[in-house]
Homo-oligomer: A and B are copies of this chain.
Amino acid sequence: MAGSPSRAAGRRLQLPLLCLFLQGATAVLFAVFVRYNHKTDAALWHRGNHSNADNEFYFRYPSFQDVHAMVFVGFGFLMVFLQRYGFSSVGFTFLLAAFALQWSTLVQGFLHSFHSGHIHVGVESMINADFCAGAVLISLGAVLGKTGPAQLLLMALLEVVLFGINEFVLLHLLGVRDAGGSMTIHTFGAYFGLVLSRVLYRPQLEKSKHRQGSVYHSDLFAMIGTIFLWIFWPSFNSALTALGAGQHRTALNTYYSLAASTLGTFALSALVGEDGRLDMVHIQNAALAGGVVVGTSSEMMLTPFGALAAGFLAGTVSTLGYKFFTPILESKFKVQDTCGVHNLHGMPGVLGALLGVLVAGLATHEAYGDGLESVFPLIAEGQRSATSQAMLQLFGLFVTLMFASVGGGLGGLLLKLPFLDSPPDSQCYEDQVHWQVPGEHEDEAQRPLRVEEADTQA
């Protein structure tokens, strides 16, 4: 019953009711469970005899702010490249991340820091919550333009839980190291989204093909996202690593890796481009693969050379993925990957996990000295060898791929619930489905963009 009043009323209510329900439930759970930790609580902090300079705030908050900018500015604007989906790209990023960070504060809190009936929060929980929001936004990249906001909120509701469990299994049960989240964030977020996109496969999506590209200005907006992600990635990978040399080394490695992935991306983009011309899609995305690929290993003694080599490899692989693998992914595997998250987060994430296996396996007491404790505590304490650490890192990748795939499948089934509002095939990548949109030029500012109402699906 296309466009029927009851359907319109349903659309009108799905998003607001879901927002209100989720916010209400979250608030109740916060009231019951969430408390300031001893570094944020007025009474607890002053009970100890601390110097204010020792408050973790001063060691982590600048990194948090950089991560926060990446999540909201970086991811949001990176996805603005679509010519008629800018409001949705930046707006739904905003909505999803604002929900995911609250919900993951609860989920991660229950799993990681639940003591005597309460979750204790501070700057570390803010960073962890933003990391989880980042994974949700990676998945968003795979389904962008083909899903409504209510669907996306349900995706986040499920994904945050599975993210938290996967992270718990890796970091706490397996003792895997993954400070910058090559596995827990990038691999998980990418394959969750890709499998979900597979389940939501739309054979008739070419009806919206004319809106799937960029225009000149939308590509410049997207470069805002790219550049903010690129400059702050050293803070992302180092935000939760060991204080002192640990954070310092992680930031440095990431910096080098990104620089090399940028050169690799320009080289390959020109090499495979028509007539040697560069492709903005590659520059916007593949140049960032250097941040993803050292997510696991940048806190380790990767060496500056190792960072360059890894970044270069990631940039080239990612560019080749955009050029050659994305079309196959759609034609053969029926995965319609709007932003190419397989190229930016999927493959580089898996490469990053494997690099972590390698670098962990090479860890020696000699190379790390007394710093071994802060990078590989279980090796330092003699509980496992470097080789077994490496094997567990590899197993962690496998676990992540399982959680992501099964979770993405479940997510797809959830999002296919027939009563959920979803844009018709001919209205994908179109802001007007979800937003009141002004014209593109001053003289048409009062006149809305056209929407082909006729072919709204039943």
Residues on A facing B (Cβ under 8 Å): 8, 11-17, 19-20, 22-23, 26-27, 30-31, 34-36, 39-47, 50, 52-59, 61-62, 65-66, 68-69, 72-73, 76-77, 80, 83-84, 86-87, 90-91, 94-95, 98-99, 101-102, 121-123, 126, 149, 210-211, 213-217, 219-221, 223-224, 227-228, 230-232, 234-235, 243-249, 251-252, 255-256, 258-260, 262-264, 266-268, 270-271, 273-280, 283, 287, 301, 303-305, 308-309, 312, 366-372, 374-375, 432, 434-442, 445-446, 449
- With A53-B54, A95-B263, A274-B436 as known contacts, state yes or no: A442 contacts B215, CB within 8 Å: yes
Report yes or no: A23 in contact with B264, Cβ–Cβ below 8 A: yes
Report yes or no: B73 in contact with A227, Cβ–Cβ below 8 A: yes
Question: How many copies of this protein are present in the complex?
Answer: 3
* Least CB distance, A347 to chain B, in whole angstroms: 20
A-B residue pairs in contact (CB < 8 Å), sample of 24: A8-B276, A12-B270, A13-B276, A16-B266, A19-B263, A23-B308, A26-B308, A40-B249, A41-B371, A43-B369, A43-B370, A55-B248, A58-B59, A61-B247, A62-B65, A65-B232, A87-B219, A91-B223, A95-B262, A101-B259, A215-B438, A216-B439, A216-B440, A278-B435
Q: Which of B30, B65, B276 contacts A231 (CB 8 A)?
A: B65
Report yes or no: B308 in contact with A244, Cβ–Cβ below 8 A: no
Report yes or no: B244 in contact with A278, Cβ–Cβ below 8 A: no
Q: Give CA–CA (A274, B231) in the complex, Å.
A: 40
* Least CB distance, A113 to chain B, in whole angstroms: 13
Q: Which of B53, B219, B267 contacts A16 (CB 8 A)?
A: B267
Residues of B near A216 (CB, < 8 A) are: 86, 437-440, 449
* Least CB distance, A238 to chain B, in whole angstroms: 9
Report yes or no: A304 in contact with B217, Cβ–Cβ below 8 A: no
- With A42-B375, A90-B227, A270-B16 as known contacts, state yes or no: A436 contacts B277, CB within 8 Å: yes
Closest to A273 in B: B436
Report yes or no: B259 in contact with A57, Cβ–Cβ below 8 A: no
Report yes or no: B263 in contact with A22, Cβ–Cβ below 8 A: yes
